[in-house]
Structure 1
Amino acid sequence: MSISIDQLAGGGASERIQRELNKIAENVLDPNTKPDAVRKLTIEISIKPNDARQLGDAEINVKSSLAPAKGLPSAFVFDYDNEGNAVMQELRMSKDRNQTAVDDNGDIVDGTGAPLGKVVNMSPFR
């Protein structure tokens, strides 16, 4: 018996293997994934013989298991509002000029520390 992967399903199995290997290569090179995560290629051939056991319908599936995107770091602060309800808000500390923050004096500043001028209180915190 000699069955070649390259000949299965008229070459379609080989094409799907190559397509999934390309997905793996893209995933490995994606800086948003863990570099050391394991990627997998699975080739599944299902064969269902007929009652006479002389013919079997087959289905070939090829799939890849890729590394998920890395989580994005963030932080939250928790407090109670003036009515006693629990509230939370993302704590945003960034060097991005467009990112606002509260400095040590309680003034709202941009990501570089420059004051923003008059800003309406955007926080539900007391």
Structure 2
Amino acid sequence: MFKLDEFANGALAEKFNIEAQRVLENIADPNTDPKKARTITLTVTLKADENRELAMVDINAKASLAPAKGVQTKIIMGRDRQGKVEAAELKSGVVGQTYITDEGDVADDRGNKVVQFK
């Protein structure tokens, strides 16, 4: 009846291949869960004319992808001298602990340089 790779001048196969590429890129993305299922849905909708001699065919393809994994971090919270809430990302891993940055500088728990070597 129909050769799917030739249907609509190859548009059906092309739409599938575009969505398949998106799925493969999503699977290869290290920020997604590799165990989550991905799907490709092809929808072919036919609408006949009054005489039932012709049908308009609408072709759509849609991929359902795995979402990106969430990212977590810790923030230090407190109040300033006026009582206003303030927060900063915890960089050192432990509140109040200094650490050595990737650049070799000594920094406080918020990532601010505390010692400069000369």
TM-score with structure 2 setting the length: 0.74
SS in 2 for 1:47: strand
* Partner deviation per Cα, 1:44-91 (whole Å, 9 max, x = no partner): 112222222222211101121111221222122222222222222222
- What residue in structure 1 maps to residue 37 of structure 2? 38
Structure-2 change in CA distance of 1:93 and 1:67 (3 Å): farther
Going by fraction, where is strand more abundant, 1 or 2?
2
Q: Is the 8 A contact 1:46 1:60 kept in 2?
A: yes
Match of 1:110 among 75, 84, 100: 100
Q: Is the 8 A contact 1:102 1:109 kept in 2?
A: no
The one-letter amino acid paired with 1:117 is: V
Q: Is the 8 A contact 2:105 2:115 kept in 1?
A: no
Task: Determine whether 1:19 maps to 2:9.
Answer: no
Q: What are the ranges of 5 or more consecutive residues in structure 1 without an aligned counterpart?
A: 95-100, 119-126
* Partner Cα separation in structure 2 for residue 22 and residue 7 of structure 1: 19
1:102 deviation in Å? 6.6
* Partner Cα separation in structure 2 for residue 93 and residue 53 of structure 1: 72
* Partner deviation per Cα, 1:4-38 (whole Å, 9 max, x = no partner): 32121111111221221122112111111111111
1:41 deviation in Å? 0.3
Q: What are the ranges of 5 or more consecutive residues in structure 2 without an aligned counterpart?
A: 107-113
Q: Is the 8 A contact 1:45 1:59 kept in 2?
A: yes
Q: Is the 8 A contact 1:41 1:63 kept in 2?
A: yes
Q: Is the 8 A contact 2:79 2:86 kept in 1?
A: yes
* Partner Cα separation in structure 1 for residue 101 and residue 68 of structure 2: 26
* Partner Cα separation in structure 1 for residue 89 and residue 3 of structure 2: 56
* Partner Cα separation in structure 2 for residue 89 and residue 110 of structure 1: 18
Q: Is the 8 A contact 1:103 1:109 kept in 2?
A: no
* Partner Cα separation in structure 1 for residue 34 and residue 87 of structure 2: 33
1:110 deviation in Å? 3.0
CA RMSD for the aligned pairs?
Answer: 2.5
TM-score with structure 1 setting the length: 0.70
Structure 1 outlier segments of 4+, above 4 Å? none
